[in-house]
Amino acid sequence: MQNIRNIAIIAHVDHGKTTLVDKILHSCQLFRDNQETGELILDNNDLERERGITIVSKNVSVNYKGVKINIIDTPGHADFGGEVERVLKMADGVLLLVDAFEGAMPQTRFVTQKALALGLKPIVVINKVDKENCRPEEVHESIFELFFNLEATEDQLDFPVIYGSSKQGWMSTDWNKPTEDIFPLLDAILEHIPSAPVSEGTLQMQITSLDYSSFVGRIAVGRVARGVIKENMPVSLVKRDGRIQKSRIKELYTFEGLGKIKAQEVKSGDICAVVGIEGFEIGDTIADFEKPEQLEVIHIDEPTMNMLFTINTSPFFGKEGKFVTSRHLRDRLYKEMEKNLALKVVETESPDSYLVYGRGILHLSVLIETMRREGYEIQVGQPQVIIKEVDGVKCEPVETLIVDVPGEVAGKVIELVTQKKGELLVMEPKGDLQHLEFEIPARGIIGLRNNVLTATAGEAIMAHRFKAYEPWKGTIPGRLNGVLVSMEKGQTTAYSIDKLQDRGRFFVDPGVDVYEGQIVGEHIRDNDLVVNIVKGKQLTNMRASGSDDNVRIAPAIKFSLEEAMEYIQNDEYIEVTPKSMRLRKIYLTENERKVNAKKFA
List, in order of start, the domains of the chain with CATH numbers: 4-192 (3.40.50.300), 204-287 (2.40.30.10), 305-380 (3.30.70.870), 388-471 (3.30.70.240), 483-540+551-600 (2.40.50.250)
How far apart, in Å, are the Cα atoms of 449 and each of 148, 208, 231, 303, 544?
A: 31, 34, 52, 21, 47
Phi, psi at 79, each rounded to 5°:
-60, -25
Query: What is the Cβ-side half-sphere exposure of residue 459, based on CA atoms within 13 angstroms?
Result: 15
Question: What is the DSSP code (8-state) at residue 492?
Answer: -
Q: Cβ distance 326 to 351 under 8 Å? A: yes
Alpha-carbon radius of gyration of the chain: 27
Name the 3-class secondary structure at 424. Answer: strand
What does the pLDDT read at residue 152? 84
Q: Cβ distance 514 to 479 under 8 Å? A: no
Q: DSSP alpha helices (H): ranges in 374-439?
A: 410-419
Q: Cβ distance 230 to 252 under 8 Å? A: yes
What does the pLDDT read at residue 41? 39
Q: Cβ distance 245 to 236 under 8 Å? A: yes
Name the 3-class secondary structure at 406. Answer: strand
Name the 3-class secondary structure at 528. Answer: coil
Q: Which stretches of the chain drop beneath a pLDDT of 70? A: 1-2, 13-15, 29-58, 75-85, 106-107, 110, 214, 299-301, 339, 341, 431, 542-550
How far apart, in Å, are the Cα atoms of 165 and each of 73, 303, 395, 513?
A: 18, 36, 45, 50
- How far apart are alpha carbons 86 and 341 in whole angstroms? 9
User: Residues comprising the binding site?
Assistant: 14-19, 127-130
- pTM summary value: 0.72
The secondary element (H helix, E strand) that includes residue 205 is: strand 204-213
- How far apart are alpha carbons 23 and 27 in whole angstroms? 6
- How far apart are alpha carbons 340 and 331 in whole angstroms? 14
Name the 3-class secondary structure at 121. Answer: strand
Name the 3-class secondary structure at 392. Answer: coil
- How far apart are alpha carbons 35 and 65 in whole angstroms? 23
Task: Give percent of the chain with pLDDT exceeding 70.
Answer: 88
Residue type (1 letter), 203: L
* Separation of CA 381 from chain center: 19
Q: Cβ distance 259 to 170 under 8 Å? A: no
Q: Judge residue 29's burial from the number of C-beta atoms within 10 Å of its C-beta, 0-12 exposed, 13-18 middle, 19 or more buried.
A: exposed
- How far apart are alpha carbons 208 and 205 in whole angstroms? 9
Question: What is the DSSP code (8-state) at residue 323?
Answer: B
Q: Cβ distance 517 to 486 under 8 Å? A: yes
β-pairing verdict for 204-213 and 217-226: antiparallel
- How far apart are alpha carbons 399 and 394 in whole angstroms? 17
DSSP assignment of 472-506 equals --------SS-EEEE-S-EE--HHHHHHTGGGEEE
Question: What is the DSSP code (8-state) at residue 12?
Answer: -
What does the pLDDT read at residue 40? 39
What does the pLDDT read at residue 81? 56
What does the pLDDT read at residue 51? 47
β-pairing verdict for 271-275 and 217-226: antiparallel
- How far apart are alpha carbons 72 and 85 in whole angstroms? 12
User: Residues comprising the binding site for GTP?
Assistant: 14-19, 127-130
Report CA torsion sign: 51, 54, 60, 63: positive
- pLDDT tens for 456-512 read 887 887 777 778 888 988 888 777 889 999 999 999 998 899 889 999 999 999 999
